[in-house]
Amino acid sequence: MITAFVFDAYGTLYDVQSVAELVERTFPGHGDYITQLWRLKQLEYSWLRSLGGDYADFWTVTRESLSYTLGTLGITPDESLFAEIAGAYNALRPYPDAESCLAGLTGFRRAIFSNGSPEMLSAMVGNSSLAPHLEAVISVDAKQVYKPDPRSYRMVEEALGVRPSEVLFVSSNGFDVCGAKRAGFKVARIERVSNASLAHELASSATIGPKIFYKAQRLQPETYGEVADYTVSALGQLPDLIRSISHAP
């Protein structure tokens, strides 16, 4: 029986694309490129650090990946401007249906489990309206290993005192879906870009720009063995999903 909903933060409850406005204002014409490559390198560096046993918190990873991205354009901003851009990850906007989703799950335990550092998550959640709907915000920082390493997911059981079988884990990230499934959670995947819509966009686009490439790279289900138990196209569908599960024979 599901007693707890545990949400990934980046790309699931909070929109990583919302940094694009600041980036485009700061570097006109490069906003889309920087936004997408920054996020891709951010994830890659988290995995490299986990594999290499060289943990540094997600703020460090975020700054390293931004430095890499700007470096590909030959840009070296001064420290104050660099800090301002990096800080956009501390003020990501929630998806429009995030708050209503969490409110619709009243009666269930609700928490975030994220790669973000405690300071980043505290700032991001505190800057939004989601905090009153969350029992806990859990960071991998306590175990110093990033998702999808199996050690990280044990933190959910430790923090909430729930068995994996009692958790419905929610993520839009394919690697996170796989990791959570292997940890024994039931998993709901948020499919914001379907394969059919991506295929249509690719077929109708004269060029494959950074955003389309990002959708293909990060917003499709992985194919190496683990699949979500449930797939919905938006967070707002989760309250109806749990009602249908609860009434299933």
User: 222 to each of 14, 45, 139, how far by Cα in Å?
Assistant: 21, 19, 24
Catalytic residue among 8, 57, 141, 176: 8
Give alpha helix (H) positions in the chain.
20-26, 31-52, 58-72, 79-86, 98-104, 118-126, 150-160, 174-182, 195-204, 210-218, 238-246
| CA–CA dist 52, 48 (Å, integer) | 6
| DSSP classification of residue 246 | H
For residues 132 and 94, the answer to whether their CB atoms sit within 8 Å is no
Chain center to CA of 208? 23
Amino acid type, 170: V
The pair of structure tokens assigned to 190 is 């948020």
Residue 8 appears among annotated catalytic residues: yes
Handedness of CA 225, 145, 46, 211 (dihedral sign): positive
| Nearest Cα to Cα of residue 212 among 85, 94, 77, 36 | 36
Tokens of 163: 């068995």
Active site residues per annotation: 8
